[in-house]
Chains A and B, each alone.
Chain A
Amino acid sequence: MTKPIGDYIEIISARSTDQEILKRSQDGGIVTAAYIYGLENGLLDGVIVADTTEGFKPMPKIAKTREDILSARGTKYSLSPNMSLVKDAVKEHALEKLGFVGTPCQVIAMKKMMQYPAAFRGTVNNIGLVIGIFCMENFPYNGMKTLIEEYAGVKMTDVLKTDIGKGKLFVYPKDGSEPIAIPIKETMPFEQKSCHVCMDYTSEYADFATGSVGSPDGWSTVIIRNKRGKDFIDKMIAAGKLETQPLDMESKFGFAMIEKLSTDKKTKNAKEIEHRIEMGLPVPY
């Protein structure tokens, strides 16, 4: 709680150098680039991604090739229980260097599993990389569906991608027409309530965390948090897979914006936690 964005070694702006990745990524395509680099260079032998199934419904998937990963890229803003595949990936797919990406709460779940692996035999040592994403809140699938179909007027089966930025949720239809913007304020009633007790915006326990906030359009912020994350990113940079630039530490749209949003989330949710305690409801502790 003392540091708004948790402990870190280094914080940079970066983007993938692969045009194919950038074409469909939300911003810098960091997760996709890291996964593909890991798989193609033996640092990872399989990864868990949030894929979309029929009707833009997120579904976790175990990916082992560049094609698998590329077909799953993009941010979904709806629940994909990525943790649910961890044991299958290690046991049934016999993966020894599993890459994992998740929201802050999923990263906490993963790290808790690694700390207390009672029900996860032979799994801990097979986790190769834990990537976290920035996350303010999430939407249940039917919440998202109501928003996109009723508000934006796009059928879920016709959604190409979604994107949040500049205070709006953009829905890109598959037919290539102009994206429809929904103001974030309108989306709030559809947020998942359990997100309101979460005190982590920047995946504070991930090897490295990434998100669009703080960096210019087309770039992502990367918060490198531990040695494993640092080694991985350094290798990617050395291999020319990432283009980097220093994070904007001056203006209010750079580092200050990440800190502001993180503090906003923590302040707002601390209130909700306090409120729950007052009502005698349990809170995660």
Chain B
Amino acid sequence: MSGCTGCLISFADTYEKLLDILSAVDLVYAITLADEVTKVTETEDKIVIERVYPDEVDIALVEGSICLDDHHAVELIKEVREKSKVVVALGSCAVTGGVTRFGRGGQNPQPTHTAFVPVAEVVKVDFALPGCPPSTDSIVKFVMAALEGDTDYLEMYAEFVKYTDASGENLIKQVISQGLCMGCGTCAAACQMRAVAMYDGKPDIRMEMCINCGSCVLQCPRIRMPKSKGLLEV
């Protein structure tokens, strides 16, 4: 969808683990990584070649936000939802809209495109894995947990689907002003924009630098504690 393909690069950056993933799954649709099935229609004056989204997909990792001004994008995401058992919003653009939320049109090659929304605002999403891009390790852990059906582990990401408007502001509203922040500094380390700085042991959010990626919200242990299962041995 609408994004920078960084999440796909992060996915492919798993090196030998990508092979583990690939040997466990059958990659049926990934524009950059695999050949796609195409449908060729010949008419009198032209030949139309279209990518075909396969039927009965088990897991669809969707990257990028949905451009509402582009009917191809809207139709495709609806088709993806219909034909896939599990839809995963991969990366901040898909989860929260990320940087594409700042789009207000006037950009080539599609100057008329202004509306970019998270995937979950258009179709039902099962899991949301934010990050700009989500780290390679987190994608591997996610895919492996999905393959093993580790619902305990996946709960964190299932719950994150609702955070379509996550940003640094959540730290203020959900954590600091609720009296829950104990000043561990995880948010400051998570933010690649360095929009979070620690002063006197508490985060100070510079909202003008925040790109709504939702990373700090996911990582904060005072919004959601990790599952204690397996925590000691990580």
Any chain B CB within 8 A of the CB of A141? yes
Residue of A nearest to B223 (CB): A284
**Cβ contact within 8 Å between A122 and B201:** no
- Per-position 1/0 for A1-45, Cβ under 8 A of B: 000001100000000000000000000000000000000000000
Q: Which 8 A-B pairs have the closest CB atoms?
A: A79-B201, A81-B185, A84-B185, A119-B215, A119-B190, A112-B226, A121-B135, A84-B188
**Cβ contact within 8 Å between B186 and A118:** no
Q: How far is the CA of A270 from the CA of B100 in the complex (A)?
A: 42
Q: Which residues of A contact B230 (CB under 8 A)?
A: 115
How many residue-residue contacts, CB under 8 A, span A and B? Answer: 170
Q: Which residues of A contact B16 (CB under 8 A)?
A: none
**What are 23 residue pairs bridging A and B, where the CB atoms are less than 8 Å apart in the complex?**
A6-B232, A57-B200, A81-B183, A82-B184, A83-B184, A83-B186, A84-B185, A105-B182, A112-B221, A115-B226, A115-B230, A116-B141, A118-B130, A119-B132, A119-B218, A122-B137, A123-B135, A123-B137, A124-B234, A138-B182, A140-B202, A194-B222, A285-B224
Q: How far is the CA of A192 from the CA of B180 in the complex (A)?
A: 10
**Cβ contact within 8 Å between A60 and B200:** no
Within 8 A of A (CB), among B142-195: 153, 156, 174, 178-186, 188-192
B218 to chain A, nearest CB (A): 5
Q: How far is the CA of A131 from the CA of B164 in the complex (A)?
A: 35
Q: Which residues of B contact A195 (CB under 8 A)?
A: 182
Any chain A CB within 8 A of the CB of B64? no
**Cβ contact within 8 Å between B198 and A118:** no
Among the listed B130, B156, B189, B225, which residue makes an inter-chain contact with A83, where contact means beta carbons less than 8 Å apart? Answer: B189
Residue of A nearest to B130 (CB): A118
Residue of B nearest to A207 (CB): B232
Given A121-B137, A194-B180, are A85 and B185 also a contact pair (CB < 8 Å)? Answer: yes
Q: Which residues of A contact B185 (CB under 8 A)?
A: 60, 81-85, 106, 109
Q: How far is the CA of A79 from the CA of B180 in the complex (A)?
A: 14
B150 to chain A, nearest CB (A): 11
Given A105-B182, A118-B219, are A111 and B226 also a contact pair (CB < 8 Å)? Answer: yes
Q: How far is the CA of A283 from the CA of B226 in the complex (A)?
A: 13
Any chain A CB within 8 A of the CB of B129? yes
Q: How far is the CA of A87 from the CA of B141 in the complex (A)?
A: 19
**Cβ contact within 8 Å between A118 and B178:** no
Among the listed A81, A123, A140, A225, which residue makes an inter-chain contact with B184, where contact means beta carbons less than 8 Å apart? Answer: A81
Chain A residues in contact with chain B, CB under 8 A? 6-7, 57-58, 60, 78-88, 102-103, 105-106, 108-109, 111-125, 138, 140-142, 192-195, 197-198, 204-205, 225-227, 281-285
**Cβ contact within 8 Å between B198 and A84:** yes
**Cβ contact within 8 Å between B178 and A79:** no
Among the listed B130, B137, B182, B198, which residue makes an inter-chain contact with A124, where contact means beta carbons less than 8 Å apart? Answer: B137
Residue of A nearest to B136 (CB): A121
**Cβ contact within 8 Å between A117 and B184:** no
Q: How far is the CA of A204 from the CA of B227 in the complex (A)?
A: 13
Among the listed A80, A226, A284, which residue makes an inter-chain contact with B225, where contact means beta carbons less than 8 Å apart? Answer: A284
**Cβ contact within 8 Å between B135 and A120:** yes
B103 to chain A, nearest CB (A): 23
Given A112-B225, A118-B218, A122-B135, are A80 and B180 also a contact pair (CB < 8 Å)? Answer: no
Residue of A nearest to B197 (CB): A84
Among the listed B174, B179, B184, which residue makes an inter-chain contact with A109, where contact means beta carbons less than 8 Å apart? Answer: B184
Residue of B nearest to A206 (CB): B232
Q: Which residues of A contact B183 (CB under 8 A)?
A: 79, 81, 138, 192, 194
**Cβ contact within 8 Å between B226 and A117:** no
Q: Which residues of B contact A204 (CB under 8 A)?
A: 232
**Cβ contact within 8 Å between A284 and B226:** no
Q: How far is the CA of A241 from the CA of B60 in the complex (A)?
A: 53
Within 8 A of A (CB), among B75-124: none
Q: Which residues of B contact A226 (CB under 8 A)?
A: 232-233
Knowing that A79-B201, A193-B179, A198-B182 are A-B contacts, what are 7 other residue pairs whose CB atoms are under 8 Å apart, sorted by A's residue number? A84-B185, A87-B189, A115-B141, A124-B234, A192-B182, A205-B228, A282-B178
B111 to chain A, nearest CB (A): 33
**Cβ contact within 8 Å between A284 and B222:** yes
Given A108-B225, A108-B226, A284-B225, are A80 and B201 also a contact pair (CB < 8 Å)? Answer: yes
**Cβ contact within 8 Å between B186 and A113:** yes
B54 to chain A, nearest CB (A): 28
Given A60-B185, A141-B200, are A119 and B216 also a contact pair (CB < 8 Å)? Answer: yes
**Cβ contact within 8 Å between A116 and B202:** no
**Cβ contact within 8 Å between B234 and A115:** yes
